Amino acid sequence: QLKGVSTHGMSWYPEYTNQKTFTQMKKKWGINTVRLAVYTAGDNGYCTGDAKNRKALEKKIDQGVQYATKAGLYVIIDWHILSDGNPKTYEKQSLAFFKKMASKYKKNTNVIYEICNEPNGGTSWETIRSYAKKVVKAIRARDKNAVILVGTPNWSQDVDIAAERPLKGYKNVMYTLHFYAGTHGEYLREKAQKALDKGLPLFVSEFGISDASGNGNLNKTEGSKWMKFLRKNKIGYVGWNLSNKDESSALLKSSCKKTSGFTNGNLTPWGKWLLKEFKK
Ligand code: IDC
């Protein structure tokens, strides 16, 4: 079971992607995976920012991969679509990006590619599937075995729909299920169970126990039910987010100004909860 932590947007909180922190998370927190969230749109998104910003993001990704590799971590390169709800919006850019990444990291067997964080805005599975076919093909032409994570409709929740017609002809492809326990409960686990029953490989590349906005109260009771479900089905999970942003889904308190060498006292209630889960 992979377990790990996701960065916040790499354009906004690049400072936490450093060797000391990645090594601490591996050795002391007990994680084996880190996710590098590269927002495609919005302020300084990969596709909406200028060339200089793109270059800086690629450099940060490269550092992230090197730090993760040195720390002994799997590393997910996450094409973090969100406000650009349909992955086709920046399909051209995505193809160029993943060709570049797969050529660069084909020898890094710890690199995992996540090709669309959360399709939304009514984007159908057929649309996502047609996008995924192209991107998976481009990655496979360069990297034969890397695990590839494919997002699912409705903010990566409709895994049951993806399970009806998964991609054909490729190995090591998994489908993402995202949840925030403050908002999503039993009904979403039922959808996940349907997908599992059909044999769909699931991966929780992002989750939280706040509400879906990334803020609000934590729901630890529902969170525990989710963890039980994930353990039972040996599903990998990655918690959102490694930053000190003033929101309940941040792992670090906003008063914490350090970027490495974190103590228990630097963690938010969510951070403390998640670290306990890692050790279970
Ligand atoms: C949130 C961040 C927040 C930021 C917002 C928009 O926590 O600071 O302002 O994005 O960029 C997701 C998304 C993830 C969200 C998170 C919480 O993948 O980008 O992060 N969330 O809303 N899906 C469900 C929840």
pLDDT in tens, 209-234: 999 999 999 999 999 999 999 999 99
Enumerate residues lining ligand 1, CB below 6 A. 42, 82, 117-118, 155, 178, 180, 206, 212-214, 240-241, 245, 247, 249
Mean pLDDT of 37-57: 98
At 234 the pLDDT is 98
Averaged pLDDT, 114-138: 98
Q: How far apart are CA 159 and CA 178, in angstroms?
A: 10
> How much is the pLDDT for 101?
98
**Position 92 confidence tier, pLDDT thresholds 50, 70, 90:** very high
Q: What percentage of residues in the chain have a pLDDT greater than 90?
A: 100
Mean pLDDT of 26-45: 98
Instruction: State yes or no: is 118 an active-site residue.
Output: yes
Please name the helix (run of DSSP H) or strand (run of DSSP E) that holds residue 190, with its range, or none.
helix 186-197
What confidence tens digit (pLDDT) does each residue in 7-35 have? Answer: 999 999 999 999 999 999 999 999 999 99
Q: Which atom of ligand 1 is nearest to the CA of 206?
A: 18
Alpha carbon dihedral 57, 60, 66, 72, in 10-degree steps, equals -100
Annotated catalytic residue within 15, 126, 186, 206? 206
Query: From ligand 1's centre to the CA of 142, what distance in Å?
Result: 31
Residues near 165 by Cβ (< 8 Å), separated by ≥ 6? 125, 126, 129
Whole-number Cα distances in Å, 194 to 160, 163, 189, 215, 231 = 6, 8, 9, 29, 17
State the distance from the centre of ligand 1 to the C-alpha of 168, rounded, in angstroms. 31
Q: What is the mean pLDDT of the chain?
A: 98
Angle formed by the axes of helices 91-105 and 125-140, to 10°?
Answer: 30
Distances (CA, A) of 30 to 132, 224, 280: 32, 18, 10
Mean pLDDT of 119-133: 98
42 CA: nearest ligand 1 atom? 11
Radius of gyration of the chain (CA): 17
Q: Quick one: which atom of ligand 1 is closest to the CA of 208?
A: 25
**CA 238 to CA 182: how far, in whole Å?**
17
Residue with tokens 């686990």: 189
Contact 90, 40 (CB under 8 A): yes
Asked if residues 181 and 226 have their Cβ atoms less than 8 Å apart, the reply is yes
pLDDT recorded at residue 212: 98
- Shortest-distance Cα residue to atom 4 of ligand 1: 214
Span from the CA of 8 to the centroid of ligand 1 (angstroms):
8
Query: What element of type H or E holds 38?
Result: strand 33-39
Judge whether 247 counts as a catalytic residue: no
- Average pLDDT of span 107-134: 98
What is the mean predicted confidence (pLDDT) over 168-185?
Answer: 97
Tokens of residue 2, six digits? 């992979």
Cα(21) to ligand 1 centroid in Å equals 22
Q: What local confidence, expressed as pLDDT, does residue 211 receive? A: 98
Given pLDDT bands bounded at 50, 70 and 90, which one contains residue 241?
Answer: very high
Long-range Cβ contact pairs of 275-279 (< 8 A, separation 24 or more): 275/29, 275/30, 277/3, 277/227, 278/3, 278/29, 278/30, 278/31, 279/30
- What does the block give as tokens for 210? 């706040």
Percent of the chain with pLDDT over 70: 100
Pocket probe for ligand 1: among 44, 206, 215, the residue whose CB has the most ligand atoms within 8 Å is 206
Please state the atom number of ligand 1 nearest to the C-alpha of residue 249. Answer: 7
Distance 280 CA to ligand 1 centre (A): 26
